[in-house]
Amino acid sequence: MTLFLPLDKGNSWTYRVESSDKLGEETYSIISISQDGWSVFDRFFSQKSIAMRVDPSGNVLVSSEKGVQSLYTDDVGLNLDNSQFSTPAGRFDDLIVATIPDNGQFWFKDVYAKGVGLIYHEIKSPKGVVKYTLVKAKVKGANYPSVSN
């Protein structure tokens, strides 16, 4: 998972956020790396004091005020996908898709691009559907979308 979730200091991702009552942009940046290897975000999906790291077995761990937990539970399917997925930040074709079966109340889909990170997040809950689509990013010094001359 490390190749699909680059957690380097200075990386940032800007998403277009769409829901029935909201349209806007949100940017999440990694502002520091702790001494024990946690990547600290300025904020992450409406939460502050969030840190992440990928353990040696590939599990994504999240540290918050609630403690440390796995980002994905065992019922989440993680699948490699070679189809193309386009966002305003570019067209990507080396993907991991994380999803959970729709139980009528809750469902989500996360799409990660190799070397870039989370490029799409869609969640359905009793509050409605919210979509986060990557519009730009800076990852390991590379800009998305890339600037063509």
18 in a structural domain = yes
**31 lies in which domain range?**
2-139
pLDDT-flagged residues of the chain (< 70) = 147-149
Return the pLDDT at 148. 59
113 in a structural domain = yes
146 in a structural domain = no
Q: Are 6 and 140 in contact (CB under 8 A)?
A: yes
What pTM was estimated for this model as a whole?
0.93
149 in a structural domain = no
145 in a structural domain = no
Return the pLDDT at 149. 35
147 in a structural domain = no
Residue 107 class from Cβ within 10 Å (0-12 exposed, 13-18 middle, 19+ buried)? middle
Domain count, the chain: 1
Find residue 121's DSSP bridge partners.
Answer: 110, 132
Residues 98-138 have pLDDT tens digits of 999 888 899 999 999 999 999 999 999 999 999 999 999 99
100 in a structural domain = yes
What is d(CA 148, CA 78) in angstroms, rounded to the nearest whole number? 33
50 in a structural domain = yes
Return the pLDDT at 104. 85
Return the pLDDT at 102. 86
